[in-house]
Amino acid sequence: MKKFISGDDAVAEGVRLAKPHVISAYPITPQTITVERLSEMVEDGSLVSEYMHVESEHSAMACAIGVSSVGARAFTATSSQGLLYMSECLPYASGARLPIVMMNANRALATPWNIYGDQMDSMFLLNSGWIQVYVEDAQEALDMMIQAYRIAEDEAVMTPVMVNLDGFVLTHTYELVDIPLQEKVDAFLPPIATRDQVMSLDAPKSLCITAGNDFNQEFKMKQDRDMQSSTAVIEAVDKAFGDAFGRYYKGMMDAYRCEDAEVILVTVGSVTGTAKTVCNQLRDEGKKVGVLKLRYLRPFPTQGLCDVLKSTKAIGVIDKNISFGYEGTIFTNVNSALVTLKERPETLNFIGGLGGRDITKQDIRGVFDTLISKAAGNAEERIQYMNVRCAE
Amino acid sequence: MKKFISGDDAVAEGVRLAKPHVISAYPITPQTITVERLSEMVEDGSLVSEYMHVESEHSAMACAIGVSSVGARAFTATSSQGLLYMSECLPYASGARLPIVMMNANRALATPWNIYGDQMDSMFLLNSGWIQVYVEDAQEALDMMIQAYRIAEDEAVMTPVMVNLDGFVLTHTYELVDIPLQEKVDAFLPPIATRDQVMSLDAPKSLCITAGNDFNQEFKMKQDRDMQSSTAVIEAVDKAFGDAFGRYYKGMMDAYRCEDAEVILVTVGSVTGTAKTVCNQLRDEGKKVGVLKLRYLRPFPTQGLCDVLKSTKAIGVIDKNISFGYEGTIFTNVNSALVTLKERPETLNFIGGLGGRDITKQDIRGVFDTLISKAAGNAEERIQYMNVRCAE
Amino acid sequence: MVEVRWHGRGGQGSFTIARLLGMAASVYGGQFAQAFPSFGPERRGAPVLGFTRIDSKKILDRSEVDSCDYVVVLDETLWGPAVVSGLKKDTVIIINTAVPEQYREQVDNPVVAIDATSLAIEYLGRPITNTAMLGALVAVGDFVSLEHCKEAIAESMKASVGEKNIKLIEAAYKVVKEAYHG
Amino acid sequence: MVEVRWHGRGGQGSFTIARLLGMAASVYGGQFAQAFPSFGPERRGAPVLGFTRIDSKKILDRSEVDSCDYVVVLDETLWGPAVVSGLKKDTVIIINTAVPEQYREQVDNPVVAIDATSLAIEYLGRPITNTAMLGALVAVGDFVSLEHCKEAIAESMKASVGEKNIKLIEAAYKVVKEAYHG
Amino acid sequence: MDRPKVKKWQEPASIDAYPLGATCDSDHLVSINAGWRTFKPVIDHDKCVMCLRCFLVCPDGVIDKSGPQLEIDYDYCKGCGVCAHECKLKCITMVKEEK
Amino acid sequence: MDRPKVKKWQEPASIDAYPLGATCDSDHLVSINAGWRTFKPVIDHDKCVMCLRCFLVCPDGVIDKSGPQLEIDYDYCKGCGVCAHECKLKCITMVKEEK
Amino acid sequence: MTQKWNAKTLTNKELFYGHKACGGCGESLAVRLAMKVLGEKAFAALPAGCMSAVSFIYPNMAFTTNAIITPFASTGAVASGMAAGLKALGIEDTYVVGFAGDGGTADIGIQALSGAIDRNDNIVYICNDNEAYMNTGIQKSGLTPYGSKTTTTPAGQNLPGSITMKKNMFEIVAAHDIAYAATASVGYLEDFMNKVQKAKETKGTSYIHVFAPCPTGWGHETHITIDLAKQAVDCGLWYLAEYENGAFKLNRNPKEFASVEDYLKVQSRFKHLTSQDVALIIDERDKKWAKMRRDWTE
Amino acid sequence: MTQKWNAKTLTNKELFYGHKACGGCGESLAVRLAMKVLGEKAFAALPAGCMSAVSFIYPNMAFTTNAIITPFASTGAVASGMAAGLKALGIEDTYVVGFAGDGGTADIGIQALSGAIDRNDNIVYICNDNEAYMNTGIQKSGLTPYGSKTTTTPAGQNLPGSITMKKNMFEIVAAHDIAYAATASVGYLEDFMNKVQKAKETKGTSYIHVFAPCPTGWGHETHITIDLAKQAVDCGLWYLAEYENGAFKLNRNPKEFASVEDYLKVQSRFKHLTSQDVALIIDERDKKWAKMRRDWTE
Ligand SMILES: Cc1ncc(C[n+]2csc(CCOP(=O)(O)OP(=O)(O)O)c2C)c(N)n1
Ligand SMILES: Cc1ncc(C[n+]2csc(CCOP(=O)(O)OP(=O)(O)O)c2C)c(N)n1
Ligand code: SF4
Ligand code: SF4
Ligand code: SF4
Ligand code: SF4
Ligand code: SF4
Ligand code: SF4
Ligand SMILES: [Mg+2]
Ligand SMILES: [Mg+2]
């Protein structure tokens, strides 16, 4: 069935289909529509789940940890200040290997306060041990809620997943979304299996334990190893999803018109669509440009990224975030992967969209022009801001 | 006067000399000695300051924001779980340009729980808009408390500073520390000046305001610009400190025997000492090795780093942290800076010390051997763990 | 691609109608659409904007609407710089007014007028003008069919309210069609 | 560089004495020193370790002490694998016991014995053995002077307690010097 | 009338001109709220006994009591009607705004 | 005696052998606490009237009441002396531990 | 003697002006009047919530005094810090006031508030109770009353809106043995202002819990805001009380209650309620009053 | 009828064993006995604090049942989540219990606890009150009493240790109108166990605040732990009470108090107190009891 709904609505639909046992969430713009819809679904019985009105985000995640620790399926959603307020609990959950799924509506961080979309919030949490996926539209948001549970609960992964969607640009934009049938989702996503890391009356467990300096490092190494190898599961789940529902998102990343591209723009999240639009215009003008949509930032697809980018001349990375005193965080991550290449393409960083600033088609065109110029050997600023309203 | 004291004690001595108006802190191992000493100093009158027993770290930082917002000098200290619990308030304070100084005792993050030192906690906060400095010993810890206030309160900087010291290895290790005279510190560190961003009865101010999508990006750009240029202030303050107290730490980074080095190991924090020890041994053996101690991670010294590393053959980066699903965070940051070099040295990542695991001299020797081998053109694993107690 | 900008006041349903248009075009019309509000910290009573984008292909573009094809003004007190900014040469302004002349004087663009308030009071008993304005837009633009709009209304509203609104949209459509094309 | 490992029980002052040694060597002896505990989640009563490193140059090394030059055991009930691990060939073990033979049998290393408990009870009235053990160490090792240790004690303790401890360290020093070098 | 007034304000022309920190002068209004109103309160000064109830209850504080008779700051009155409803003597009428 | 027993345990030989998550089986003791003790409680079973006060108050729960007479699990007794102090009949003596 | 406030004695000068709150907003009236009582040397701290959202929108600043937005959870802590800072700097005769919503007080901010009271920091804390998270679009908070429809407690076939009772925030604060605490309502403005005056004069922490209708969230007409706030007290669903010197005092003890139905029916958040639901609400009211009348003095 | 617990009726089986707490630790006794009352189907949640620090040290696990360490602030929230999860999975006849310290309850954990009570989640919450942050080395908490020396409230020339009073945690919880709450002491163990039993049988949230001496933090000899806990009650510095069906009940109302001095003098944390300090402590005790005797039934 097709519906004309917002990204937040789409998330709620995806969650409904994934049937979590318990939802614990705290309202924050622009995530609210999602939790409101879920409240309605619980009230009207279309979702059989416990909705817990927790008193803060820290408790929202702590509650989800409790739910997951007894082997039940947990969902929560947040954004921005809320994500940071709960941040202590994120490495907690991932270290415990609890397959919680969370929606994060990407939003700017105070101060100054701002409710609009940028990606400073989730970039803060790259080290949290959570799998991070970013979606491009409402359909992908819905589909990823379902995929997220299957990935998180996979025996080889057992790691929580954060599904990120851009505030307002996705959360509050309505579009046509296909709602899968419950039966098909049930077939794709089996009920949560009981694993060794959760409580059980038959074999009681101690959870979230202490490991001193004799053992701690090995626990973390195991966590890292499994996160690294989750790449394969992510790819497989996406393929299986494609087979079942006809929508395949290309796993870790989606290379758009990149085959022969001399210049590639790396994007994360909703700006991808605008970049593709401009890319198509430039292709029509005969320019060899492409867009590489990074879907996952953790695990980071070092190898795949290098494969796509290796024969490019210039690469641009769009960051809707800034690590003050350095550069955009995606740029930093992409650069580090590229050092593995013998012949390294030039990379430039384009920072924009902060606090919801529009990234226009003209901005993207400017970015491609700069990259083409760079590819031609001209000097260009390594780090540039897009769509600045005043003198710099 | 020289005293045989711990790193935590040294921090407390530094804070005493810097005379904050208010201290708000919440206890957490291995930061506790610092706040205990400060409580004692306040009790016995050797520090005239208000000590606030706040009920959590979130409130410790919020309280410091309140103190700083009226133009008073604020201090707080934390570690690990506490740092994450207050993390929402960090970009809050930096966006407001409040020159708060915080000590962070680097400690592992749960789960598993662990009270020992690694640097996962502060690496989480690289995007927080705080200046981050890491010290190598207790003396530097003391000295940096004093420098930190002068840097933070500099007119061109006006940015909070986090002084990081490794848990136990520094916080609980006693060594000989020179305690500067109060008069000399007073001359070096003037009383806090009133700036435009704080409250005033004469010209009332609204703080921590909202800036919508029309303005937000420019606020952040200003913040970034000032953080970038704080590098100059950092260098100048360190020089001035050297002139006044005879201890100069070389500003953003300290290149140890790097001049003609073919192989350089990049370190952050207390492991530097061990690396220097081994470096000296290898130099005695005629090997051209050096150690580059990165003192500041934000702002990140892109240019300076490249200057030191540019003619090296192989570079190793030690990370006492892991960004699950990728690599060590310092490695990522260093690599991104190095892409600006035409001829890029090979870089390898050595992860260790997680959850307080010892990094031994043999480990460091192994690291140098690997780097020398890499420099000779041999293949070596890009990311390696040090001192693993079992099969990988 | 057609881009429509809606001007209303918080609480007047201007975004609801932007959404309804998108629904009509996509769910019922087989096209693709986006609808999104411009959202601020201001409270009820403050002017707000809504946008609808419609195209026959999937819409990838996520940037804001800068210049649009149609500007629909639900309440003539909103007339001002916001309404006349970002117009293309041929952008049509559709305004709820009984006295359109004063507006025509101020712009070179075509101005379509409809007394939606009177129509709304007639059909709904309340001055809620959004449905009537959609009728007017559809009559002028012809990029979405009236039928599909009616289907969208029927789907989105309670039966009793929906019926009245369907009557209203038909009436508004007819008035405008007759005035401008008839 | 001299590396000393102290074995005690939480609450017995084994880390205090490791620190005192460092203080004597550095603040009063003009050398450089580090002192650090091995710290665990266990509570009072559990065995704990302390370390002191002393050198004439600034000590850069921050790794744990793996093999040490002196092992000082404050309480003979702690004898066990922990005490005999990480010994070099010539590492001297100094143990608080009245009957050292049983320990000498178990290791090839030199074992210096002192009945510190008795001495402590004699001088302090309580079986707090750490100061006596420092006296023994200093007598055996000669890398820090007894004078500097006494200065460190005087500085760190309340006058009344300090005096008694100074007497105690002198006595312990004498006993060991006489027994082993005299 | 003793009410805060709208100030002339220019968007900062450069990053430098932006405030230090997330700060702004207090008492700084650059836009009015009049546009929010659909109805406008009009006081019948003849009937008004200056009981000041309306002054007290106005959520926006737009009724000035400093003069010989009450004065409403229509730049900031939102037309909520609280004053009219609370005036015991019904001296305030809510009148539809004209364009 | 019905008290949890020390289990044989090997440090995991590989990353694989480490637990999934920060988890461990409950009821899993691999080391004893006997070494904490300087004094050791010894019950005079002749005097004891089995009032069970000592069983109740022992913070470590090491006094087993399942047998005909009380039994102390000296693997886990910490020698705190609470039992001796609380025994009204003074049937428990704290005896210094010998090496 | 303590200054008594009314429309005549109150300054004409506005210290909170030009904000972008909805017309007829009860909270904005509470802030406006409290600021007038506290005066120009008040330093205000407001967490995330409607009042901060509508008053600090660059470049429009509605406070004429010093003011700050705090992290949502941190009203108590930021205010404490400000008070400590002012004291340390020797800036005297100033007042630090926190204005937080019901959500910011009873849910996410209760810890910081509890800490401030425990330390007895010298601040005035005013809770603007509009019975839901309004700034984010009317979600249930710990102070949302039984039967209220919010966007996270929808009313439908299965549930009558919120099914939990209002948290006893005033009693919880009083249980800390705070220096001064009171409840108030924007329906009784002189009472409110005089309580703010008492709080101003209190050394240590004081707390005022003011009931403030929200036309947008409650679905009532804007002009009845004050009336409704009065009705809430008159029908017994809210009450005016103080806690001082370790004892509770009921400031109003009506012989007869006004109609609860009349209060409920003008608000769309309650329009779905059945007569059983209303009976339950009345029953809970009666229990609460029985307890108050038993334990509190008048 | 409700099972009455004493040493005879209590199971011999230990569910909390081999932990690394100090000898003579009061908290560990409270946990041990509560677990025995709750039984093998109890699921325990413990935040950071001594009890979790000594019981989950890989590979030594002291709980024989299911148990989890929670983030320090999150006892209430994790326990709530566990209860919700167990219910959703249809796992019945289980009990979720949280054991938090005084710091974890009255300071950093009060918000999550307040939320759990407000939702009336089906959990038993036990506060182990040893009057300071012990796990981190004896720092002052909101429940540290006046005059107590801690590492962050040193006693010296200028201050007599802590200068704030103990937060009234029991009353604060009761003010939430919780289903069941009680105070207890490890000096009165049958009373404590029977209260745990009541809590176990309560539908919804229940709270027990148990006074548990800490030889390490208080500086008393290990063998007097239980005695001291009894003395605290007998001298009136602690009290045994319940809150049930909306009313307070005092379980013990001694005609005469035992000596406060005797209680204080065996603890090194109080050894600096002057006779004025002690007089002040006694005075505060008398005020508290006057209030309790006035307002609470027996
Ligand atoms: C940590 C955090 N979580 C959530 C939010 C989102 N938020 C902002 S205001 C608000 C609601 C405020 O409700 P209340 O305190 O009752 O004040 P009101 O808006 O009703 O005046 C919420 C949930 C936030 N800003 N910060
Ligand atoms: C967020 C956070 N802050 C601080 C700590 C450090 N910490 C761990 S336990 C503890 C003290 C616990 O005190 P209490 O709750 O009274 O329990 P007790 O140890 O006395 O049993 C502290 C401060 C932490 N683990 N997490
Ligand atoms: S309320 Fe009415 S009578 Fe009183 S001052 Fe206002 S207008 Fe005049
Ligand atoms: S209508 Fe409202 S805003 Fe205007 S004066 Fe009356 S009360 Fe004030
Ligand atoms: S307390 Fe004494 S009498 Fe009672 S059972 Fe124990 S040993 Fe026997
Ligand atoms: S000495 Fe302590 S641990 Fe041992 S049995 Fe007695 S009470 Fe238990
Ligand atoms: S939503 Fe309610 S509380 Fe918020 S500004 Fe509007 S009326 Fe006031
Ligand atoms: S420090 Fe106190 S509470 Fe902690 S384990 Fe030891 S005795 Fe128990
Ligand atoms: Mg509210
Ligand atoms: Mg405690």
Chain A residues close to D41, C-beta within 8 Å? 210, 212
> What is the pairing mode between strands G247-250 and G241-244?
antiparallel
Nearest CA in chain B to D62: B274
Touch D-B: 3+ C-beta pairs under 8 A: yes
Chains adjacent to C (≥3 CB pairs closer than 8 angstroms): A, B, E, G
Phi and psi (nearest 5°) for D20? -60, -40
CATH number for G41: 3.40.50.970
Sign of CA dihedral H225, H226, H227, H232: positive
Report the alpha-carbon angle A357-A361-A365, nearest 5.
115
Distance between CA atoms of residues C22 and C137, nearest Å: 13
Cβ of E40 closer than 6 Å to ligand 4, yes or no, is: no
Q: How many angstroms separate the CA of residue D24 from the nearest CA in chain H?
A: 26
Ranges in chain B annotated CATH 3.40.50.920? 253-385
Optimal mutation site among H216, H218, H222, H223, interface D, most CBs of chain D within 10 A: H216
pLDDT for C182 equals: 58
Contact (Cβ atoms closer than 8 angstroms) between residue B311 and residue B322: no
Preceding peptide of B91 cis, ω within 30°: no
- Expressed as residue numbers, the domain containing G208 is 26-296
Asked if residue B349 has pLDDT above 80, the reply is: yes
What ipTM describes this predicted complex?
0.98
Confidence of residue A392 (pLDDT cuts 50, 70, 90): confident
Of the candidate CATH numbers 3.40.50.300, 1.10.8.640, 3.40.50.920, 3.40.50.980, the domain formed by B253-385 belongs to 3.40.50.920
Contact (Cβ atoms closer than 8 angstroms) between residue B29 and residue B168: no
Q: How many angstroms separate the CA of residue H122 from the nearest CA in chain G?
A: 14
Please name the residues in contact with D109: beta carbons below 8 A apart, sequence gap of 6 or more: D87, D89, D90, D91, D92, D93
What are the tokens at C37? 């509000």
What are the tokens at C80? 């001002």
Distance between CA atoms of residues G215 and G50, nearest Å: 13
Domain F41-99 indexed as CATH 3.30.70.20: yes
Per-residue pLDDT of E30-87, as tens digits, reads 999 988 888 999 999 999 999 999 999 999 999 999 999 999 999 999 999 999 999 9
Distance between CA atoms of residues B158 and B98, nearest Å: 6
Contact flag A176-C62 (C-beta cutoff 8 Å): no
Per-residue pLDDT of C25-60, as tens digits, reads 999 999 999 999 987 665 666 778 999 999 999 999
Contact (Cβ atoms closer than 8 angstroms) between residue G29 and residue G212: yes
Contact flag A88-H71 (C-beta cutoff 8 Å): yes
Q: CB-based burial of residue E49 (10 Å sphere; 0-12 exposed, 13-18 middle, 19+ buried)?
A: exposed
**B218 Cα–ligand 8 center, Å:** 53
- Ligand closest in space to the Cα of H72: 2
pLDDT, mean of residues A36-44 = 98
Chain A residues close to D66, C-beta within 8 Å? none
Asked if residue D45 has pLDDT above 80, the reply is: no
> What is the pairing mode between strands D47-55 and D2-9?
antiparallel
Beta strands in chain B (DSSP E): 2-6, 22-25, 50-53, 74-78, 101-106, 131-134, 161-166, 174-178, 205-207, 253-256, 263-267, 289-294, 296-298, 314-319, 346-351, 383-385
Q: What residues are paired with A165 via a beta bridge?
A: A105
Chain A residues close to C64, C-beta within 8 Å? 358, 360
Q: Is residue G15 part of a domain?
A: no
Average pLDDT, chain D: 93
pLDDT for G3 equals: 81
Confidence of residue B344 (pLDDT cuts 50, 70, 90): confident
CA atoms within 13 A on the CB side of G96: 29
Of the candidates C149, C144, C148, the one whose C-alpha atom is nearest the C-alpha of residue C132 is C149
Touch E-A: 3+ C-beta pairs under 8 A: yes
Optimal mutation site among H75, H117, H163, H172, interface G, most CBs of chain G within 10 A: H172
What are the tokens at B226? 């000032």
Q: What residues are paired with H104 via a beta bridge?
A: none
The length of chain A in residues reads 392
Per-residue pLDDT of A235-266, as tens digits, reads 999 999 999 999 999 999 999 999 999 999 99
pLDDT tens digit at each of 298 positions of chain G: 578 999 999 999 999 999 999 999 999 999 999 999 999 999 999 999 999 999 999 999 999 999 999 999 999 999 999 999 999 999 999 999 999 999 999 999 999 999 999 999 999 999 999 999 999 999 999 999 999 999 999 999 999 999 999 999 999 999 999 999 999 999 999 999 999 999 999 999 999 999 999 999 999 999 999 999 999 999 999 999 999 999 999 999 999 999 999 999 999 999 999 999 999 999 999 999 999 999 999 8
C45 in reach of chain B (CB within 8 A):
no
Distance between CA atoms of residues D135 and D177, nearest Å: 9
CATH numeric code, B2-245: 3.40.50.970
Touch G-B: 3+ C-beta pairs under 8 A: yes
Which string of DSSP letters, residue by residue, matches A52-89?
EE-SSHHHHHHHHHHHHHTT--EEEEE-HHHHHHTTTH
- Percent of chain H scored above 90 by pLDDT? 98
Please name the residues in contact with A136: beta carbons below 8 A apart, sequence gap of 6 or more: A269, A270, A272, A273, A293
R_g (Cα) of chain H, nearest Å: 18
Distance between CA atoms of residues H270 and A195, nearest Å: 51
Q: Which of G53, G70, G89 sits opposite B70 (nearest CB)?
A: G89
Say how far residue C19 (Cα) sits from the centre of its chain: 10
Contact flag C22-A359 (C-beta cutoff 8 Å): no
What are the tokens at D82? 């922990």
Chain A residues close to B208, C-beta within 8 Å? 110-113
Q: Is residue G1 part of a domain?
A: no
Give the count of domains, chain H: 1
Report the alpha-carbon angle B379-B385-B387, nearest 5.
120
Chain H residues close to F55, C-beta within 8 Å? 7
Pocket lining for ligand 1, CB < 6 angstroms: A 27-28, 57, 81-82, 85; G 27, 48-51, 72, 100-104, 128, 130, 133-136, 141
Of the candidates B350, B294, B362, B297, the one whose C-alpha atom is nearest the C-alpha of residue B320 is B350
Alpha-helical runs (H) found in G71-202? 75-89, 102, 110-119, 169-175, 189-201
Phi/psi zone of residue A7: left (φ > 0), alpha (ψ -120 to 50 degrees), beta? alpha
Q: How many angstroms separate the CA of residue F77 from the nearest CA in chain D?
A: 12
Nearest CA in chain F to D8: F36
Number of Cβ within 10 Å of residue C22's Cβ equals 30
Closest atom of ligand 6 to F92 CA is 6
Give, using CA atoms, the residue closest to atom 10 of ligand 2. Answer: H49
pLDDT for D48 equals: 87
> What is the pairing mode between strands A263-267 and A314-319?
parallel
Cβ of F6 closer than 6 Å to ligand 5, yes or no, is: no
Give, using CA atoms, the residue closest to atom 7 of ligand 2. Answer: B28
Chain B residues close to C40, C-beta within 8 Å? 212
Exposure pattern of F31-47 as b/e (b: 16+ CB <10 Å)? ebbeebbebbbebeeee
Contact (Cβ atoms closer than 8 angstroms) between residue G176 and residue G117: yes
What are the tokens at A181? 């049938």
Which string of DSSP letters, residue by residue, matches A244-280?
HHS----TTEEEES-TT-SEEEEE-STHHHHHHHHHH
Closest atom of ligand 7 to G51 CA is 5
Which string of DSSP letters, residue by residue, matches B231-275?
HHHHHHHHHHHHHHHS----TTEEEES-TT-SEEEEE-STHHHHH
Asked if residue D42 has pLDDT above 80, the reply is: no
Distance between CA atoms of residues H252 and H256, nearest Å: 11
* Mutational pocket test of ligand 7: of G51, G55, G134, G150, the residue with most ligand atoms within 8 Å of the beta carbon: G134
Phi and psi (nearest 5°) for G224? -95, 5
Q: CB-based burial of residue A90 (10 Å sphere; 0-12 exposed, 13-18 middle, 19+ buried)?
A: buried
Distance between CA atoms of residues F63 and H17, nearest Å: 11
Per-residue pLDDT of C137-171, as tens digits, reads 999 998 999 999 999 999 999 999 999 999 999 99
Beta strands in E1-99 (DSSP E): 23-25, 39-43, 63-64, 71-72, 92-96
Cβ of F72 closer than 6 Å to ligand 5, yes or no, is: no
* Mutational pocket test of ligand 4: of E77, E86, E90, E96, the residue with most ligand atoms within 8 Å of the beta carbon: E77
Contact flag G227-E86 (C-beta cutoff 8 Å): yes
Contact flag C77-E97 (C-beta cutoff 8 Å): yes
R_g (Cα) of chain A, nearest Å: 21
- Ligand closest in space to the Cα of A107: 1
- Ligand closest in space to the Cα of H28: 8
Q: Look at the pTM and tell me if it is higher than 0.80.
A: yes
Q: Directed axis angle between helix A271-284 and helix A361-375, to 10°?
A: 60
**G156 Cα–ligand 3 center, Å:** 43
Contact flag A298-B392 (C-beta cutoff 8 Å): no
Per-residue pLDDT of F42-72, as tens digits, reads 999 999 999 999 999 999 999 999 999 999 9
> What is the pairing mode between strands H180-185 and H66-70?
unpaired
- Ligand closest in space to the Cα of G18: 4
Of the candidates B123, B119, B118, the one whose C-alpha atom is nearest the C-alpha of residue B87 is B123
Give, using CA atoms, the residue closest to atom 3 of ligand 3. Answer: E48
Q: How many angstroms separate the CA of residue E46 from the nearest CA in chain G?
A: 20
Closest atom of ligand 1 to G131 CA is 16
Domains, chain C, in order of start with CATH, read 2-181 (3.40.920.10)
- In the A/B pair of chains, how many CB contacts fall below 8 A? 256
A61: amino acid identity, one letter: M
Cβ of F57 closer than 6 Å to ligand 5, yes or no, is: no
Chain C residues close to G23, C-beta within 8 Å? 44-45
Q: Which of F11, F18, F23 sits opposite A206 (nearest CB)?
A: F23
